[in-house]
Structure 1
Amino acid sequence: MPVAVCSLKFESAHSGAQKIVYDSDGYHLVRFPYAAAEESYDPWKMHDPAAGGGASKYPDARSGLIWPSHDGWATLSALLYWAPDSRATEYRARFVRDPLNLSTRYDSTATTDISATGGGQYRSYTWQMFVHPGTPVGFKISARAGDTKIAVPITLAEFKMAIHTDVIRP
């Protein structure tokens, strides 16, 4: 079964903590460097700065996108480490088709809302869905104290997509 894979990694040890900038939907689109120094893997060029007919440079918003190289059934996974912040009481995350409204329209799925724990705030997420070339996918996050969004920096993030390209549709 052919599988096309894109694996992205952001690590504060290489790039400094990622500052959170909330979009109008109340979430931050996690950004990923284009350089291989962050242990990324992208032979199908799904995280290309010119993907989707645009131009991008890390850490702009487009650097948070994976542009599927094939139609198929995709397994999405993400890993996130938040910097310590005693103000945050909940952490949210979601996968979003076209998070910047560049092609089809914003379509979020698999939103997760988790209370803060007494230790570190380390989270992993998975979801599966159909993906298509021309519709980018992103991973968005939010830290909150009640209704107030808090700009808690992230120190590690990974975002991966594995597309099963031989899915048979009736």
Structure 2
Amino acid sequence: MPVAICSLKYESAHSGAQKITYDSDGYHLVRFPYQAGEESYDPWKMHDPAAGGGTSKYPDARSGLIWPSHDGWATLSALVFWAADSRPTEYRARFVRDPLNLSTHYDSTATTDISPTGGGQYRSYTWQMFVHPGTPVGLKVAARSGDNGFAVPITLAEFKLAIQTDVIRP
């Protein structure tokens, strides 16, 4: 079964600190550099600065998007390392179709809410869903306590999309 893959990696040691800003939904869209890195892989150009007919430069919001190259059944996975911080009482993550309302409409799925552990917070996430070329997907995260969102630094993030391209729908 053919698979189209996009694998992105952000690492603060190589890309500098990522400024955490919360959108109106209370989440931060994680940004990823465009240059190929140690583990980045994008031969189908799903994370391209010109994808979706726009222009982008890391770390603007569009640098957080993967534009699926094919219709198909996809596995989305993510890894997020948060710096140690005693303020948040929960860490959240979600995958979002069209997180910037550029094509279809904002549609979040697989929201996860986890209590902190001692030290840094290290989380991985997985979800499966249908994807389409005209609808970008993104990874959004939040560190919060009640209604307060905290700008806790992310030290590492990975976002991966694997599309099975020959799925038959009845």
TM-score tier (shorter): over 0.9
Once residues 153 and 10 of structure 2 are traced to their aligned partners in structure 1, the CA distance between those partners, rounded to angstroms, is 12
Where do 1:109-128 residues align within 5 Å? 109-128=109-128
User: Residue 10 of structure 1 contacts residue 38 of structure 1 at CA under 8 Å; is this kept in 2?
Assistant: no
Where do 1:32-51 residues align within 5 Å? 32-51=32-51
Once residues 18 and 43 of structure 2 are traced to their aligned partners in structure 1, the CA distance between those partners, rounded to angstroms, is 25
Where do 1:73-152 residues align within 5 Å? 73-152=73-152
Q: 1:126-164: per-residue Cα shift (whole Å, max 9, x none)?
A: 000000001000000000022211111100000000000
User: Residue 89 of structure 1 contacts residue 115 of structure 1 at CA under 8 Å; is this kept in 2?
Assistant: yes
Amino acid of the structure 2 residue aligned with 1:153: P
Q: Which deviates further from its counterpart, 112-121 or 64-73?
A: 112-121
Amino acid of the structure 1 residue aligned with 2:19: K
Once residues 148 and 115 of structure 1 are traced to their aligned partners in structure 2, the CA distance between those partners, rounded to angstroms, is 15
Once residues 104 and 88 of structure 1 are traced to their aligned partners in structure 2, the CA distance between those partners, rounded to angstroms, is 33
User: Residue 56 of structure 2 contacts residue 63 of structure 2 at CA under 8 Å; is this kept in 1?
Assistant: yes
Gaps of at least 5 residues in structure 2 are: none
Once residues 5 and 160 of structure 2 are traced to their aligned partners in structure 1, the CA distance between those partners, rounded to angstroms, is 7
Once residues 119 and 87 of structure 2 are traced to their aligned partners in structure 1, the CA distance between those partners, rounded to angstroms, is 14
Amino acid of the structure 2 residue aligned with 1:143: A
Using structure 1 for the length normalisation, give the TM-score: 0.98
Other-structure match for 1:158: 158
User: Residue 9 of structure 2 contacts residue 37 of structure 2 at CA under 8 Å; is this kept in 1?
Assistant: no
Other-structure match for 2:9: 9
Gaps of at least 5 residues in structure 1 are: none
Q: How many residues align?
A: 170
Once residues 109 and 46 of structure 1 are traced to their aligned partners in structure 2, the CA distance between those partners, rounded to angstroms, is 20
Once residues 56 and 17 of structure 2 are traced to their aligned partners in structure 1, the CA distance between those partners, rounded to angstroms, is 20
Q: Once the 2 structures are TM-superposed, how far is the Cα of residue 38 of structure 1 from its aligned partner?
A: 4.8
Once residues 141 and 83 of structure 1 are traced to their aligned partners in structure 2, the CA distance between those partners, rounded to angstroms, is 13
Q: Percent identity among equivalent residues?
A: 88
Q: Name the SS for the 1:55 alignment partner.
A: coil
Q: Once the 2 structures are TM-superposed, how far is the Cα of residue 17 of structure 1 from its aligned partner?
A: 2.2
Other-structure match for 1:22: 22
Once residues 21 and 140 of structure 1 are traced to their aligned partners in structure 2, the CA distance between those partners, rounded to angstroms, is 11
Using structure 2 for the length normalisation, give the TM-score: 0.98
- Runs of 4+ in structure 1 deviating by more than 6 angstroms, as ranges, are none
Once residues 124 and 151 of structure 2 are traced to their aligned partners in structure 1, the CA distance between those partners, rounded to angstroms, is 20
Q: Name the SS for the 1:36 alignment partner.
A: coil
Q: Once the 2 structures are TM-superposed, how far is the Cα of residue 39 of structure 1 from its aligned partner?
A: 2.7
